[in-house]
Structure 1
Amino acid sequence: MISKQDVVQSVPQKGFFGHPKGLLSLFFTEFWERFSYYGMRAILIYYMYYEVTQGGLGMDRTMANSIMAVYGSLVYMSGIIGGWIADRLLGTTKTVFYGGVLIMFGHIVLAFPSGITTLFISMALIIIGTGLLKPNISSIVGDLYSETDVRRDSGFSIFYMGINMGAFISPLIVGTVGLEYNFHLGFGIAAVGMALGLIVFLITKKKYLGLAGSYVPNPMTKEERKKVFTRIGIMLVAVLVVGFILVQQGILTIELFTMTVSILGIVIPTIYFIVMYRSSKSTADEKSRLLAYIPLFVAAMMFWAIQEQGSNILAQYADERVDLMIGSFEISPAWFQSLNPLFIITLAPVFAWIWVKLGDRQPSTPRKFAYGLFFAGLSFIVMIIPAYMNGTDTLVSPFWLVLSFFLVVIGELLLSPVGLSATTKLAPAAFAAQTMSLWFLTNASAQAINAQVVKLYKPETEIVYFGVIGVIALGIGLLLYVLNPLIQKQMRGIH
């Protein structure tokens, strides 16, 4: 059995800004993976609804927005499968590599001109591939450091910077190529990005990663493998056969599929909470903390429901409602997708400094969540102003969209890292890993619900659309602020 100490000793501990050399390997692998994913995402909505004469698929805009939301939801849901495969079958390093290969092939499929069927094949490959890669590459970062290593938090901050650098650059490159020249060439560049990430990973992992991620934490016995693979095989065949029949009969439509995912977005986390709360392995204090976690979960869902509309509703808004001319220079609507990572790169160190400066005087976790929702709500409320002033049939200044992205990023920095930290503190000991999966389900559930919500958006309804969602966010934020003492009491000593 490989111990944690064996893993740490196998990794060269200096060589990348004073951090283990393995961080270099993971930094650039994730940089290129995020480059490929966010580059593809920056043009995908336009590819779906642009007319065939413009190189797109000519989908209805409402359906395209709904599919984008379902796609994002399934990407986050698939992380649960990726974690299980790494824990029981392959270890994190192999799981990350195979995930990268599937992502690359997903982009390659989109690089060739074809129809809607090809789009869904590509989505399926990227959903599974991201589920294998995304949660596990972060786990390998943790393997590089001993539990007492003071560099750990700094290492994750550097890794997080790689994520946002890839996300910032890709819409500028892939977005420009995809919209100015050819969608499929843009998707091809995304495929090249993932290929570069895989090359970096393969060349450096043996020398820099040592034993990190090479072991299987909870391996199956031969008997368990046989039983599990048989069950999975039967389930997959059954799903494929039933799915094929339903499609042939015209019963399984895109609308029914998106509705099914939306329902699962509510049902799956509900089951998680019930199972953990009723388990005999959860102590009385842990059950109390679980109850305190529920309003935080709902608040996080509301936040992501707004934040994730940056890639569909606000992307459509940038394309149709924004004056893209700044002087004699025309900007691409895809470039707005770079604003979120740009603001995070700029503001994350500021927030880190603020929390250190405040120390024990900083707001409680529920209050930080409440502030995060206030800013998210405001990011939609400000989108009412240009329509109210000039109507919905005139082009608006791009700075309204910039302001909206800026406000939601402030909310993200108040809520997202705090949510990760709160999850580790409030999780029952017997369900530590599952509770982290539950945190990522806040995003999956939000986008699953968005698949229905985004159908309500039209330029003529935008005042009501942005206004109602913004007010709901403000209302939940206010409720969370008022309930802070009660939630704090249920948290049983966790601040």
Structure 2
Amino acid sequence: MQQHEQTDQERRADSSFFGQPRGLSTLFYTEMWERFSYYGMRAILLFYMYFSISKGGLGFSQPLAASIMSIYGSLVYLTSVAGGFISDRILGSRRTVFYGGVLIMFGHIALSMPLGRIALFASIVLITLGTGLLKPNISEMVGGLYTEYDNRRDSGFTIFVFGINLGSFISPILVTWLGMKYNFHLGFSLAAIGMFFGLLQYIRGGKKHLPSTSLYPSDPLEPEDVKKLSFRIGVGVVVFGLVLLLMQVMGTLSLSTFITLLSLIAIATPIIYFVVIISSKKISSNERSRVVAYIPLFIAATIFWAIEEQGSVVLALFAQNQTNNNFFGFQIRAGFYQSLNPAFIMLYTPFFAWLWIKLGRKQPSSPSKFSLGMVIAGLSYIFMILPVSLFGTSARVSPLWLVGSWAIVEVAELLISPIGLSVTTKLAPKAFESQMMSMWFLADAAGQAINSQIVKYYTPDNEINYFLIIGICAIVAGVILAFLVKPVKRLMEGVS
């Protein structure tokens, strides 16, 4: 007990980065550059896929390109399961993050080469695997800078999310300008350079400011575990291959049906993972109760991310096809709108960081914040009904409609994203620390897997119904969660 108190005091004394531990600085800038590369690439990838070959694109149909965008985003977060496992059981979080960054950089390099669809799918594999290694573990390392009772935790995660959005704000402007004005591949090369800078920052600051415990797995694999793992991986690969073979024999295998198969896997994975964690003998009864409390928060996050992540698909199409991008003589390129998400996050973050510190123990519980965030997210889509109703689907409307929608949904994100990161680290069982952080990213994976199926129905003829149905679903889910706040809090066993 005395040793715990001493460690707690030492951690609180480390406040050299805006009142936060110095290690947060290293993770802040590393993640900033990683997000620079990822969101810069995403700002132009949809257009690269469906623009005609004569315009430098790949010539996919617009619905297929939108579906690929969504399943790509889903896979990026789905692989966080493997990333969390590799960190917890094999490499430790620090090395796992580094190897992930290297794969991401090579993925962007592949896209920067004019090799057509081959380079596209190669980059998807590399960036998917790399982000899976990096994302859950760098967030878990942020949580490791604080004790369970350090009130700076939520504020620290809010600052960390600000770093994410700083990189995400700059990159769509630069990458879109370079990629859509001159050449898509030049834009993708800028994303690769961003990840390179992120790796340099990580290597330089990691040795000085990150705890040595991050070098080692928290639950190392035993020899018998290696055999079980090898067997399970082998079975999974064989089953997946047989399913593909069966689809081929039946004549149903296509890029579209392959995306559907991946969507089903992305939705089933968190369900299986919850069962594995809850039934594990490695967790106590208190830890099990906290994991059960996490389930409704996970479902809420899935619905929220399904709406938020459509900003790079549905709203991107709206920006290209239905928005008057000549604004007071300034030519807005459709990819520029992807900077609105991080711009509002950075605008709102100081207020929310101050608010949570000001309220202290009086602030709303995590489930209450999630509930309010869900309702606000739904309203952002209800808002998009207005321009279509007023002006029709053939008119090009003011860009301020898109600005307004993003302004609304980013309030919801500040109530859900940093709070979700923080509550995940607080509810995580000791034996599943990184893997529970993977669960948080699986909410995004499931949300985007759902998107990969529903974005196909986003057409001018169906636009009002599309926004209305999704908006109402989010609002209803938020109201239901509001009624569940008290039982969820009881299950959280003292965690707020």
Q: TM-score, normalised by structure 2?
A: 0.88
Q: Distance in 2 between matches of 1:202 and 1:422?
A: 28
Q: Secondary structure at the match of 1:69?
A: helix
1:96 aligns with 2:122: no
Q: Which runs of 5+ in 2 are unaligned?
A: none
Q: Distance in 2 between matches of 1:21 and 1:417?
A: 19
Q: Which runs of 5+ in 1 are unaligned?
A: none
> Shift in Å at residue 398 of structure 1?
0.5
CA deviation profile, 1:99-118 (whole Å, cap 9, x unmatched): 11111110111111122232
Aligned residue number for residue 54 of structure 2: 53
CA deviation profile, 1:11-53 (whole Å, cap 9, x unmatched): x968755665544433322221111001001111111111111
- Equivalenced residue count is 491
Amino acid paired to 1:367? S
> Shift in Å at residue 267 of structure 1?
1.8
Aligned residue number for residue 345 of structure 2: 344
CA deviation profile, 1:201-228 (whole Å, cap 9, x unmatched): 3344444547353223333356654664
> Shift in Å at residue 196 of structure 1?
1.8
Q: Would the alpha carbon gap of residues 211 and 421 (structure 1) be closer, same or farther in structure 2, given more than 3 Å must change?
A: closer
Aligned residue number for residue 454 of structure 2: 453
1:355 aligns with 2:356: yes
Q: Distance in 2 between matches of 1:345 and 1:89?
A: 36
Q: Secondary structure at the match of 1:437?
A: helix
Q: Distance in 2 between matches of 1:438 and 1:449?
A: 17
Aligned residue number for residue 322 of structure 1: 323
Aligned residue number for residue 178 of structure 1: 179
Q: How does 1:37-186 map to 2 (within 5 A)?
A: 37-143=38-144, 155-186=156-187
Q: Distance in 2 between matches of 1:278 and 1:202?
A: 38
CA deviation profile, 1:224-252 (whole Å, cap 9, x unmatched): 54664576468658856975896698643
The two structures, once aligned, show a CA RMSD in angstroms of: 3.3
CA contact (8 A) 1:177 1:186 kept: yes
Q: How does 1:293-442 map to 2 (within 5 A)?
A: 293-427=294-428, 433-442=434-443
Amino acid paired to 1:196? F
> Shift in Å at residue 264 of structure 1?
2.0
CA deviation profile, 1:39-93 (whole Å, cap 9, x unmatched): 0011111111111111111111111111111111111111111111122222222
Q: Distance in 2 between matches of 1:200 and 1:267?
A: 36
> Shift in Å at residue 140 of structure 1?
3.5
Q: Secondary structure at the match of 1:213?
A: helix
Q: Would the alpha carbon gap of residues 461 and 138 (structure 1) be closer, same or farther in structure 2, given more than 3 Å must change?
A: same
Amino acid paired to 1:85? I
CA contact (8 A) 1:140 1:212 kept: no
Q: Secondary structure at the match of 1:392?
A: coil
Q: Distance in 2 between matches of 1:482 and 1:118?
A: 48
Amino acid paired to 1:417? P
* Higher mean displacement: 163-172 or 12-21: 12-21
Amino acid paired to 1:84? F
Q: Secondary structure at the match of 2:394?
A: coil
Q: Distance in 2 between matches of 1:78 and 1:452?
A: 20
Q: Would the alpha carbon gap of residues 439 and 394 (structure 1) be closer, same or farther in structure 2, given more than 3 Å must change?
A: same
Q: Would the alpha carbon gap of residues 146 and 485 (structure 1) be closer, same or farther in structure 2, given more than 3 Å must change?
A: closer
CA deviation profile, 1:370-401 (whole Å, cap 9, x unmatched): 21111111100111111111110000110110
CA deviation profile, 1:178-220 (whole Å, cap 9, x unmatched): 1111111000110111112223333444445473532233333
CA contact (8 A) 2:111 2:185 kept: yes
* Higher mean displacement: 267-276 or 244-253: 244-253
Amino acid paired to 1:265? A
Q: Distance in 1 between matches of 2:478 and 2:293?
A: 15
CA contact (8 A) 1:383 1:466 kept: yes
CA contact (8 A) 2:140 2:425 kept: no
Aligned residue number for residue 258 of structure 1: 259
